[in-house]
Amino acid sequence: MGATATFPANKRTLSGSGDATNELTAPGSASTNSEAPADGGASRLKFDGIIGESQALRQALRLVEMVAPTDSTVLLVGETGTGKELIARAIHERSPRKNRAMVKLNCAAIPGTLLESELFGHERGAFTGAVAQQIGRLELAEQGSLFLDEIGDVPLEIQPKLLRVLQEREFERLGSTRTTKVDVRLVAATHRDLERMVVDRRFRGDLYYRLNVFPIEVPPLRDRAEDVPLLVGHFVRHFAQRIDKVIETIPPQTMEALVNYSWPGNIRELQNLMERAVLLSPGSVLRVPLQCLRNPASKPKSRTLADAERELILATLKETGWVVSGPNGAAARLGINRSTLQFRMRKLGIVSARQGWIKA
């Protein structure tokens, strides 16, 4: 970067490289995500609180616009800190249920013994300590949306009741025999590999397929490097205004380090670092404690679990001469049955041809 990035005090712009100006959103207003058609048009998508112009983010937001007007169940998949709750909020606010409540429940933050009561509610005396009736999150979300974060942490013993809600739109509170009908749109999110959990019998397959009606992958920040300057500008302005401080510039080498960092904690890590940087900056120049970055100079290539699984299956097939079944086939070597292997091969883009198996 050949010029110092600037944070104008009274303008909604951020100069990240000296030769291009990107629109930013001031805290508390609707953020703008640029759509940049090949013809140079000015088509834009607007999503509250979501900042970025990268192709990876635009792809996810296009899926949001497709599914939001429907009542279909949505499964958001992505690493921790990528902003899955903001995507869920965007789906709700673009749905016919937008004037009703969006109720949130983090399934990982509540012990399994209490999660059932939080989700379905309970009657007085249903268990020790149940001194009064409690309405569950499902009923609170009636005619609105229910966002279940970390759905992969729902205990197996609760999953059949959740499946019944998705299938039959009904449930019973703990301690009650009365069936309650419910009209709720479900959006779930997870950072776990639910397919692997199904294979390992740690998650019900029937529930997974009910949840996986419309999956949306929320990209990690390392796949959105071009969005880092926009996010930096947004967070710096937000935290500076909160403590009545003026931050006007950021050294180019600092911005370069931030762009090249892999951000294992994703947007949450960047947000926390920018808050710390604003607090530590004595003047109008942002001073980022780059020593806090575990590896600021390099950005490793993203490699997903699916990539590793595909490589393992391909290597095993080559070792067996592309033989899938039988005692010496690839399925036996991988410790799975033939049908499971064939399903995984189709899922990963390894498809059958007239002779043997080839990678798609």
Kindly list the domain boundaries of the chain, sorted by start residue: 5-22+223-292, 58-217, 305-359
**Which pLDDT score, from 0 to 100, does residue 4 have?**
52
The residue that leads in pLDDT, 47 or 197, is 197
**Which pLDDT score, from 0 to 100, does residue 38 have?**
27
How far is CA 15 from its chain centroid? Answer: 28
pLDDT band at 43 (very low <50, low <70, confident <90, very high): very low
pLDDT band at 45 (very low <50, low <70, confident <90, very high): low
Same fold, 5-22+223-292 and 58-217: no
Mean pLDDT of 289-308: 67
CA 103, 107, 113 angle in degrees (round to 5)?
A: 115
- Say whether pTM exceeds 0.85: no
CATH number assigned to the domain covering 58-217: 3.40.50.300
DSSP character string of 195-215: HHHHHTTSS-HHHHHHHTTEE
Please give the mean pLDDT across all residues of the chain: 82
CA distances from 5 to 17, 22, 229, 271, 343 (A): 6, 11, 9, 18, 50
CATH architecture of the domain covering 5-22+223-292: Orthogonal Bundle (1.10)
84-93 helix and 55-67 helix, angle to the nearest 10 degrees: 40
**Which pLDDT score, from 0 to 100, does residue 28 have?**
34
Please state, in angstroms and rounded to a whole number, the distance separating the CA atoms of residues 49 and 46. Answer: 9
